[in-house]
Every structure is written in C-alpha cells, then in structure tokens.
Chains A and B, each alone.
Chain A
C-alpha cells in the first residue's frame, strides 16, 4: 500500500541557527592579502548588509534535502504515465558518463583541441539524430523542446525574409490538438496563429485546412502522432498543401517515441523538426528541466542564386570534421543564420545522456522501443474499453501510438466527479497521474502514456485502479473529492495560492507581508 512521507519539513530559513556553516571557504593566502591590501569598493556599490541566507551545518542541509526528496516522485519511484511528456526510465550508465569530470569540467570557451572527445560525440549525435528523423542536419543548440520550437519558427521566419516575402507570410497554422508551446512559439516568432480543428477520426480536418491555406501561410506546426496518440493519416496531403504555397512544414518531436524506426518526419515531407532528448532519448526531466531540444532541417534551397540553403540558417555552433587535420571543429553560424538562442553550446548533460542511450540502443533497439511503447498503449486501451464512467473519444477503432486519451466526461456529467478527482485517486494508489485536461479538445481528458518502460503488471494495476475509482465514484460521488489522503499533503488551496493579496512566490515576500511592509 502506498504511503508517502509526511515530514512537515520546515523551510531552510526556519532551520537556520546563528553561527553554523555548511561549507568552509579557504582564507586568502597571507602574501595575497598583503599584496592586495584591503578591499576597495566605491560606497555606491559596496554591499553593506549580508543577504539573509540561512546558517546550517552540512548535516542539516543533507537531511533537509533528503527529506524533501522523500516527498517527491519520479520515474524511479513508480509509473509516471504523463502523456506527451514521455517519462521513460533514465539509465544510470548515462548519468555516469554525463557527470564525468571530463565533461562537467569543460569550459565552453576553452580551446577546441582540448575538447576533441566531446566534439566527436556531438558530431556523431548530429548524424544519428539526422538519420533517426530522416532530416539532413541537426543543430544541438536549443536548451529544451520549446526552445527548439522557437528555433524552428525563426528558421521559417528567416526563410521567408531571405526570399523577400516575409511581409505577406504572416501566419502559422496550428491544429487545435497541438501542444500549447506551438502557438506560443509562433507568436514569439512574430506570426499570427491560425487554429484548425480535428475531425472525429482524430486527423486534421482537411477541408478546414484547405480553407485557411493561402498566400499568407508561412508554415504549419504539427506533431505526428498527434496528442491523441493517432498517426496523422493525411500527412502527405498536408505537406503538399503547405508546400504548394511555399510554406514550411514543422514537426513537433514530442511524440517521436511512437514511430521511431517506423516512420521519419523527413520522409513525410517535413522541412524542420525539433526533438526532445529528455523524452525520446532517455534523459531525465529533472523536475522540469534541464532538457535539450535539437532542431533538424531538410537542406532545402532558400536562394539558388546566392547559394543559400536551409542549413545556412541553423542556430548555434555546428560540429564539423576536418579531414585534413583529423580534428573536430566548431562551425560558427554564418551571416544568414538565425544566430544564437543561448550563450554557448547546447545543454551538454542531457545531450550526453541521449548519446549514451542511442549508442546502446542502436537501430535495432530504437525500433524495439517504439514497438513496446505502442504495444503497451494499445494493451492498456483494450483493458479500458467499455469501463463505466470513461470513454475513449476520437479515432474509434484505430490503434494508438505512444499514448491514448481517455475522457472522464461520463463520470463528470453523471456524478460531478472530474478528471482531477480521478488523478488524485491514482496518486493515492502510488501512481503518478496522467496528463489531465489536455488536449483541450477532449473534455475531462486523461492523457496516458506508459512508454516502453512500464511493466505489464503495472499497466494492469493501473487499469484496475481506474476501474476501482469508477466503482467508488458510482457508489458515493462525494468520496473522490476527499482524495488524495496517502500523499504528503491533502488537496491544495489554489485560490489562495493565486490570489493577488495572498500570492507568495518567495519567503522574503511572505516575511514582508507579515511585517506589513507589503500589502
């Protein structure tokens, strides 16, 4: 039976005891101090009050954060079936490699000759990712999926700018089932977002698409399989449509885990794709990051006369191999590049994690990953067919890929029991909950993805728990409102958390409010 630790752990500030220290900073050497003399800083800039950081011993700090980990939950603790987030096992061999001092200790500006091993790994990774996606080049520069999306959108913008048509190419088309980052990225790239609906098969409504595609279409962003877990069957037709108006087709790689080794964005007509190394390639999510979001392109001609290709537009440094010297080199972005999205190279730790994962999987393993992820999804969907209180909207009779979206709409309508209540009931049984209320086109959505990681026993137990929740709800609809009870705390007051007069993002603000310094 699941019971999470309930420590009522004080804040680190409340644990502070004057005079304690957790880390000894060495004194400057005597000669150093003598030569330099006293510290001279202008009155305007010298700090006069020490920041009120807590004072703790190393033991205090260790115990505090250890207790906090006991009130947290990751893939190492149990199933995390968060749809579209692709929570798979994070093999520790990759941790060992990524945290090796020969990677951790490298300065991004240090001499290229001294980082040859790392550059070689990046060079290989660039090639592997291009092959996996069927694209020509991948830049490993962006720091996360949404960062890769922004890169992709800026590539589209630059493409139309270089072709002298950006004034009329003002719109990016996005399906209504898309991740929220897609429209947000398009807007950051200076485009107007045009949303198109899905049809009951779960595909993009082609007629609706045709009615919006035109002169002003700069591109279309789509994930395939979609957030409904369904493969977009008309993808080739969609690609033709977008290309017919010189728009670019953008692939959101969040759901790649469902087709690796079976289909590639590059073969479906996509021009640009981003990947999530912290999803598809086994890097951990770290409670919200760091991630890595490589952006890949088909090397389309942008301007034949000036010999500009899409690869010239890629962001950040690209690693090349110099045959003559036998050395790996960083190629800086040229004048037509969209430039840099972060100060230095990409997020190396997750990239090395992904490198290790792909190295150990190879072609054979990645295909197996896809097969088992998809098999797990469809096995679960079968177990959930005709369970009272739930339904499986869109794409009736179709197999799912990486995920399946259930709806608790019947339970909501009949009993007032919501997807959120169901989620809390799952927590109580020691499962993390699925992604809820997404995609927006499914009411009371429970978007479930097991990946290749989950055991058949856990999938069955999870389905059993969903059925049990339904049984309890139909007996007493008030019961689910009390959940969760087995977690560190019970249901949280989100109104208080968000109200302007009580919103508290830092302890400093809390103390000021208590003292009446801030209202």
Chain B
C-alpha cells in the first residue's frame, strides 16, 4: 500500500516533488533536529503493539470491529436505569443533522463570517435552553452535568469573594459529587453536606438552615434529586438567598415539562445534562453539560465556557452571530481565565437544539407526562408485589425501592433478571448503606406498559419463587 486513501500526497511522485522543492533527499532529514536519545528507531516503533502493526483496509477493519461489537448486549427495552442519564428515544433527524459534515467536521468557529450557520445553531441551543430554564444567559456547553456543577460552585467562590465554603446535600447524584470533590480540592474550598429526610427523601430543611451561613458562597440543589424525589426548590431558594449565597440548581431537563424551571424557583445558576434530549447513552459520553445564569453582568463575566451572541455586520446592519466575551477565556486571559474549558460539547448542543425544535411547546409537556405516568404505573405495580418505595416524597420518573425483608440481595435479583434478558435498576446500597438493599429504577417513553408488566411478573417470580 503506497498511497493511502486518507493521505493523498503519499504517492512516490508527489513525495519526490516536494522533497526536491524543499531541497532534501529523504523525509527522514526533516527529523534530524530530534536528539538521538529522544528518538525511536523504526525497528523499535514497528515492534510495538499498535493496531495490527500494518495499515488495514476498511473491509479488514470492519470484520475485526464487528466481532467486538457483537459482544455488547443491547436490551430492548433498555435498562430500567437513570442515575443521571436516561434511555430516551433519539429521533433519526437529530442523528442526521449531526452527521452533516459542515457541522461534524468544523472546528470552533474562530472565523465568524464563514461559520454563521454553526454559530446560529449554537445560539439557538442557548436560546431554547434559556426558555426551558427560564434563565437569560446560557453558555455553549460544558462536558457533562457533573463538571457543570463543579464549575458552578467554583464560580460561586469567585463571585462571593472571601466566602470559602459550598453546601451540597447528600441526596444529590453521588457520581456528580465525586467530580465536585475533584474540582474543588485544589482550591481548598470546603464542602459541607446536608442530610436528607429519611422518610420523604428530600433535603432536611432544618439541617440546611444550620449549614448555610455567611461563609457560604454557593448552595447546590438537585431536583428531582438522586432518589427521584422532587425537592421544594422554591423554599430552598429562599433560605439560600437570605444568607447571601448563590443558588445553584441542577435539573433533569425532561422533568421541566411538568416542574417549575430554575428561573422560576429563584436560581442564580442552573446546570443539568442535555443527554435526555436526543443524545445517546454512549456508555458515559459525550453528554452535554448545561450551564445558565440569570441576567447579571457580574455573573456573566464570571461564567466559564464559550458563548455565542447575536450582533450585526459592520456594514449594513445585517443580523450575524459571533463568539462573545472572549476576554474571560484562556486564550486571552491565560492563567486568569474563568476556567480552562476550551473544547466543549458543541455538536451535542446542536443535537439538543434539533430535538427541542422537534418537540416544541406542547411536546415537552407530553413527554414529561408520559414519563411520569409510566414510572407511577410501575411504582404502583411494584407495590402490588411488595416492592415498596423507600421514600414518600413526590417523584417524577425515577424511584428507589427496597428489598429489605425479602431475604435476597439486589445482586441476586439483578442476575436473574439478566438471565431472562432484562436489565434491571441500579443498586445503590453501597452508595447509601443506611438504606440496605435499595435500588433505583427509572422509566421513560421507551418502557411501554407491556414491558413494565413483564418486568413485574419476572420480579414477582424471582422474589417469591425459590429459583
């Protein structure tokens, strides 16, 4: 193979022409300034395990990859799992638009005039998200929900100068909390945890009141929380504001078809994951970190991430889009930047824009209702076989149940479901040992009534039968 399909100049004739123009006789000469001790010999390089050593044709590669993909198991219906990301329907139109090369293979739109379509699409993402969240300023995305929370908390420390503590309840997503810890540790910011109400599953308001004080820069609240329970985000907001801290809310955005938006409950910063809006599960990413603030110059100036803004052309005042407020960013501010985030999840943001445009005003409410109904149906069917909810608080489409009293571990039940081709919920007993054999179950538009009925029958058989 002398000329590779992806390397057009690799033919002998072209290489020869270029070498002659440069005035050298071999390609190796271009690397002569690399000190010998820092070089790797061709022999050694060729002996390393990298791919199959040689170049492969697509046909050969496809055979190898097919063999691997066949070892992954796809469940239909998908796993009854949330935990921060959820199986939702991905409309083919979303995938199609994202596969268009003009979006897919573009770089960050440094040259505005030739990238207007890309920037308008990102501006539309920001604007659709602003409506959903009822917030005025949205950035062009963070990596995921967890990193967005971490950056929001860091931002609260920058905005509330001198305050070095943030407050995070125990009932927020523990996978998110681990990321918060990683980001806050080098800055020496103290994280104080707030208990949850063991009966309702929502945040312990008295404990919150005792922990938010004049040292607190930011308070984070997730609704629905990790247990799926809907918090009273309004009441919490009032407590936070009274102490002069920034109020950061995290939302599962599908629930906003039914629940009050962050802007309506008084949030200063709203975060979340756009994954449920037309992005795949992708075994952990790419997802989409939502990041929004209310309109306040002081907050806007401290925002991390890229933002696209509406403007006009210099001549003629034609509408146009541009990257704005770049003075906050690392390529200008360097070590004084608001964050180091550079490459974000722009394409995912466009996917979400396409999804929300399809769903529209009434679609979102209908989707949220469907998710609510399916989960509440499941919860009531679960209780018929003695699988009761751990918490009594109102929930959206996810809830915790307990196996305490069945004399079985969740692991055993899970294994038996898997043997029957069904992927159950998420074990959370190791994350919250006080709950015993608890697991978390999520239901979406992809889990139909017939699926839920089958699941309940299987669970009944497993829980009551010997085998």
A467 within 8 A of B: no
Distance in Å from the Cβ of A419 to the closest Cβ of chain B?
Answer: 12
Distance A89 CA – B73 CA, assembled complex (angstroms): 31
Distance in Å from the Cβ of A127 to the closest Cβ of chain B?
Answer: 6
Q: Which residues does chain B contribute within 8 Å of A484, judged by CB atoms?
A: 113-114
Cβ contact within 8 Å between B118 and A68: yes
A368 within 8 A of B: yes
Cβ contact within 8 Å between B286 and A505: no
Cβ contact within 8 Å between A47 and B342: no
Interface residues of A in 1-46 (CB under 8 A from B): 4, 8-9, 11-13, 20-23, 25-29, 31-33, 35-36, 39-42, 44-46
**Contact pick for A262, options B4, B31, B62, CB 8 Å:** B31
Residue in A11, A20, A290, A435 whose Cβ sees the most chain B Cβ within 10 Å = A290
Residue of A nearest to B57 (CB): A360
Q: Taking A127-B49, A190-B186, A374-B30 as contacts, is the C-beta distance between A85 and B285 under 8 angstroms?
A: no
Stretch in contact with the other chain, from B209-217, B253-261, B401-409: B253-261
Cβ contact within 8 Å between A32 and B377: yes
Distance A507 CA – B187 CA, assembled complex (angstroms): 35
Stretch in contact with the other chain, from A242-250, A300-308, A376-384, A409-417: A376-384
Distance in Å from the Cβ of A496 to the closest Cβ of chain B?
Answer: 5
**Contact pick for A288, options B69, B130, B140, B366, CB 8 Å:** B140
Cβ contact within 8 Å between A518 and B136: yes
* 27 residue pairs bridging A and B, Cβ less than 8 Å apart: A20-B360, A41-B258, A47-B264, A53-B132, A53-B361, A65-B100, A74-B104, A77-B101, A99-B280, A128-B51, A181-B340, A287-B115, A288-B108, A288-B346, A289-B347, A339-B182, A339-B185, A342-B179, A344-B284, A344-B285, A347-B286, A362-B50, A490-B316, A490-B318, A491-B315, A506-B129, A512-B295
Cβ contact within 8 Å between B311 and A496: yes
B124 within 8 A of A: yes
Q: Which residues does chain B contribute within 8 Å of A475, judged by CB atoms?
A: none
Q: Which residues does chain B contribute within 8 Å of A278, judged by CB atoms?
A: 343
Stretch in contact with the other chain, from B32-40, B159-167, B190-198, B240-248: B32-40
Distance A278 CA – B354 CA, assembled complex (angstroms): 23
Q: Which residues does chain A contribute within 8 Å of B62, judged by CB atoms?
A: 93
Q: Taking A28-B369, A262-B39, A366-B50 as contacts, is the C-beta distance between A284 and B105 under 8 angstroms?
A: yes
Cβ contact within 8 Å between A72 and B116: yes
**Contact pick for A368, options B10, B130, B341, CB 8 Å:** B10
Distance A186 CA – B187 CA, assembled complex (angstroms): 11
**Contact pick for B7, options A346, A452, A502, A518, CB 8 Å:** A452
Cβ contact within 8 Å between B131 and A52: yes
Q: Which residues does chain B contribute within 8 Å of A179, judged by CB atoms?
A: 331
Distance in Å from the Cβ of A270 to the closest Cβ of chain B?
Answer: 10
A66 within 8 A of B: yes
Distance in Å from the Cβ of A212 to the closest Cβ of chain B?
Answer: 15
Cβ contact within 8 Å between A506 and B137: yes
Cβ contact within 8 Å between A118 and B72: yes
Cβ contact within 8 Å between A45 and B232: yes
Q: Which residues does chain B contribute within 8 Å of A264, judged by CB atoms?
A: 40
Cβ contact within 8 Å between B320 and A492: yes
B203 within 8 A of A: no
Q: Which residues does chain A contribute within 8 Å of B308, judged by CB atoms?
A: 505
B416 within 8 A of A: no
Cβ contact within 8 Å between A143 and B186: no
Residue of B nearest to A120 (CB): B68
Cβ contact within 8 Å between B348 and A290: yes
Distance A239 CA – B83 CA, assembled complex (angstroms): 44
B302 within 8 A of A: no
Interface size class of B (residues with CB under 8 A): 35 or more
**Contact pick for B90, options A8, A104, A190, A290, CB 8 Å:** A104
A466 within 8 A of B: no
Distance A414 CA – B314 CA, assembled complex (angstroms): 25
Q: Taking A262-B31, A375-B27, A509-B136 as contacts, is the C-beta distance between A342 and B144 under 8 angstroms?
A: yes
Q: Taking A103-B72, A338-B182 as contacts, is the C-beta distance between A378 and B30 under 8 angstroms?
A: yes
Q: Which residues does chain B contribute within 8 Å of A493, judged by CB atoms?
A: 311-314, 320
Distance in Å from the Cβ of A58 to the closest Cβ of chain B?
Answer: 6
Cβ contact within 8 Å between B179 and A146: no
Cβ contact within 8 Å between A181 and B136: no
Distance A134 CA – B426 CA, assembled complex (angstroms): 39
Distance A69 CA – B114 CA, assembled complex (angstroms): 11
Distance in Å from the Cβ of B419 to the closest Cβ of chain A?
Answer: 11
Cβ contact within 8 Å between B363 and A23: yes
Cβ contact within 8 Å between B315 and A379: no
B385 within 8 A of A: no
Distance in Å from the Cβ of B216 to the closest Cβ of chain A?
Answer: 21
Cβ contact within 8 Å between B81 and A110: yes
Distance in Å from the Cβ of B425 to the closest Cβ of chain A?
Answer: 10
A101-114: CB near B (< 8 Å → 1, else 0) gives 11111111111011
Distance in Å from the Cβ of A163 to the closest Cβ of chain B?
Answer: 16
B134 within 8 A of A: yes
B464 within 8 A of A: no
Distance A390 CA – B70 CA, assembled complex (angstroms): 55
Distance in Å from the Cβ of A220 to the closest Cβ of chain B?
Answer: 14
Cβ contact within 8 Å between B113 and A427: yes
A208 within 8 A of B: no
Q: Which residues does chain B contribute within 8 Å of A56, judged by CB atoms?
A: 357-358, 360
18 more contacts with CB within 8 A, not counting A47-B257, A105-B280, are: A4-B114, A11-B127, A25-B366, A95-B99, A95-B104, A106-B283, A107-B85, A114-B75, A154-B185, A187-B335, A262-B39, A339-B179, A346-B285, A359-B56, A362-B53, A494-B311, A500-B297, A506-B136
Distance A132 CA – B124 CA, assembled complex (angstroms): 40
Cβ contact within 8 Å between A184 and B120: no
